[in-house]
Amino acid sequence: MRVLAAMSGGVDSAVAAARAVEAGHDVVGVHLALNRMPGTLRTGSRGCCTIEDSNDAWRACDRLGIPFYVWDFSERFKEDVVDDFVSEYAAGRTPNPCMRCNERIKFAALLEKALALGFDAVCTGHYAKVVRDADGHPQLHRAADWAKDQSYVLGVLTHEQLEHCLFPLADTPSKAEVRAEAERRGLSVAAKPDSHDICFISDGDTRGWLAERIEMEPGEIVDETGTKVGEHSGANAYTVGQRRGLRLGRPAPDGRPRFVLEVRPKDNTVVVGPERLLAVGEIRGIRVSWAGLPPSEAETGEEFACEAQVRAHGDPVPARARLEPAAVPGAPDAHDGELVVTLETPLRGVAPGQTVVLYQGTRVLGQATIDAARSPERLLPR
């Protein structure tokens, strides 16, 4: 196969490309320039988009003896990931930029260009696995190393995209083995630290970064009864489940800490309350997609058993899900349907804007963007 290897400059993508070469594929390496300031160095950076990362990717390809290119996707990244991140926070939601990057950049823009250039597949260093069912259809599954499993952030991939995905690290038992292999192959990134946090917020100060891009206005912090207990400098900087930095003027009656239960951008209000009210029993999601063929129940609206996961490194919990059709087809705010997930074990601190990914065993069924999360004790308005 002709394979385009996405080279981030890290050890995972380098070893994945090496394995693709070893498997006999015709491999070309490409580094995506996502930062609009390409001269940025890694000093103080916590991400994966610096000029040093580009150089590391070039050195890995040179060692492997494969062609190397840099493709400038910075404009698309800004529009589809960075601007989306800002607009979601401005609307009071908590987005996952890694999901958007995988959906719109690495497995949409990159894959589309790769196919147009005659490549058969895109190879990445993600820890996940594509398995073919009895009829040859691709399914997305967890990687062998659950500690490094990245199937959650790949839950946005479609059946068509999975047909052209190559994940050579799928069966690797640990990250330590990947580093050891990189060392044996003479790859200079063998000991390179992992990237973490949000790549386009180099210092990790999400609140400060947002404050420069969203107009923040002071407003009230109220408790679950509607009683004012403090003030904030901008509701958009708060997230559901947050405990620190609330600076409340009135302590809770029981003296226990309060947590953010809800952000209401329309009236610029932050709602806080006791920890128990963070427990969520029902999730409603929009922008539903299926990782491979959808379950048969999705066609009929019947409920099906599954496990639900709402964070990249969170634990899945038993659940039941069903797909509801759009309430008013053709309406301006209509969508293709709503995924209703009933959790058998409540989850804590689920926020609109996050992603719920459904599993059956190791298989990823699909995902949805959370539109509403309902507590057994307190129903949040939709």
CA distance 151 to 95: 17
* 246-253: Cβ within 8 A, 24+ apart: 246/221, 246/272, 248/221, 248/272, 252/223
For the record, the structure tokens of 221 come out as 């912090």
Amino acid at 44: G
For 218, counting Cβ atoms within 10 Å of its Cβ (0-12 exposed, 13-18 middle, 19+ buried), the class is: exposed
Rounded alpha-carbon distances, angstroms, from residue 97 to 61, 78, 168, 279: 27, 11, 24, 24
The residues, any chain, with a CB within 8 Å of residue 382's CB and separated by 6 or more, are 284, 371, 372
List 101, 123, 165, 306, catalytic entry: 101
List 48, 98, 199, 306, catalytic entry: 199
CA 309 to chain centre: 12
The residues, any chain, with a CB within 8 Å of residue 205's CB and separated by 6 or more, are none
101 is known as an active-site residue: yes
3 and 120 Cβ atoms separated by less than 8 Å? yes
Rounded alpha-carbon distances, angstroms, from residue 82 to 62, 99, 215, 251: 31, 12, 16, 37
48 is known as an active-site residue: no
Q: Which residues are catalytic?
A: 101, 199
